[in-house]
Structure 1
């Protein structure tokens, strides 16, 4: 059966609850890919949300914000969200299933990990499987992920329980256009940045705290000098060029 897309059904009014989703770290050479899912209080548009919750004024694509602004907004998002969640997929799993599939699994893990935020009063998280997903990019989560397919067949762990596939919409540039997606972008980015700072302490010499795992000249030079560490993605060109693979894109 064809997966239901929001484009196939009546448009969802912004005042209707939905789950905004975005990721961070897809293009890095080291560290995990992290996704966040956020449900915000009902609002008519971004201006109405800012009027309702002045603390959330300025939500936009995390890449357009300074690190200080992102760090200031992240706790406000958790405080004023109806619900929020994070999903992480680590390098060994990225190598097994490729970065695009790993990103899909991180997104669904974030949805499954939704926890009440400060504005959760009166909202039943049991409604979660019924809420539509709005995802930054041009791709939606494949039905196999909702069906509980294990992300890494080599693992002995049982697959996640199967869930009905929700309605979805992929929106290019959604992290700058849709408040809940912007909020997810900020939570994913700030969580991953803090994680990379911690990993820099465990794997010194690569500058992970500075470049957060992206392929800067300094990072590439460190890999050439020291060799990859366990947090590097061995299938990525630049870590092991002879094993480079074509990685999927969500834009």
Structure 2
């Protein structure tokens, strides 16, 4: 049986301020938990209600009731496995390849999908503005499907970060140069903006190139979802 203080701690980790305070985060689902265990993320505890699904997991697993998992969970229908891991230290940025920057992304699903896209296209460094949604938000982690273990996500003041940038900075705008007319270099920095407002003015002023994904019919859709746009741009970078 899990003591009440542990349940209280785990529930608190669904909020960013307590994740920062305790240096830990929660992830749910056997696939993502196994991905994290196979990575260099340090585990605090695994809670599960199904011994058969955890035969290959280490002995720091604690078996609990479904009711106890429901109390810890952030999901409507609690998964049979919940893991608590330590937040790792941010790694230095490697500028020998493309680096993706996110300016004020707010939707957890979008960030999780973008992390997954970085993993797919081999973008190892994702730099987020300080007001971008936390990558250890449970909804973000769920959307990454384990890709959080292979992408270095860091948070900083993007204006300061770009001030000393040694690579060309490509910003995405509705009125930029159509992507098919742009020769993308072997390495650079790609900036994606907020879902509603795009790239902020201060970051816009740091961009060397303005690029856009053109529409092929009369303007009907207002814009592309930021994760969808990121997929198209990363494909073009790697093409």
- TM more than 0.5: no
Q: Going by fraction, where is strand more abundant, 1 or 2? A: 2
Q: Going by fraction, where is helix more abundant, 1 or 2? A: 1
TM bin, normalised by shorter chain, reads: under 0.3
**Which protein has the larger Cα radius of gyration, Structure 1 or Structure 2?**
2
**TM-score for the superposition, normalised by structure 1:** 0.27
Q: Say which structure, 1 or 2, has more relative contact order (CA 8 Å, 6+ apart).
A: 1
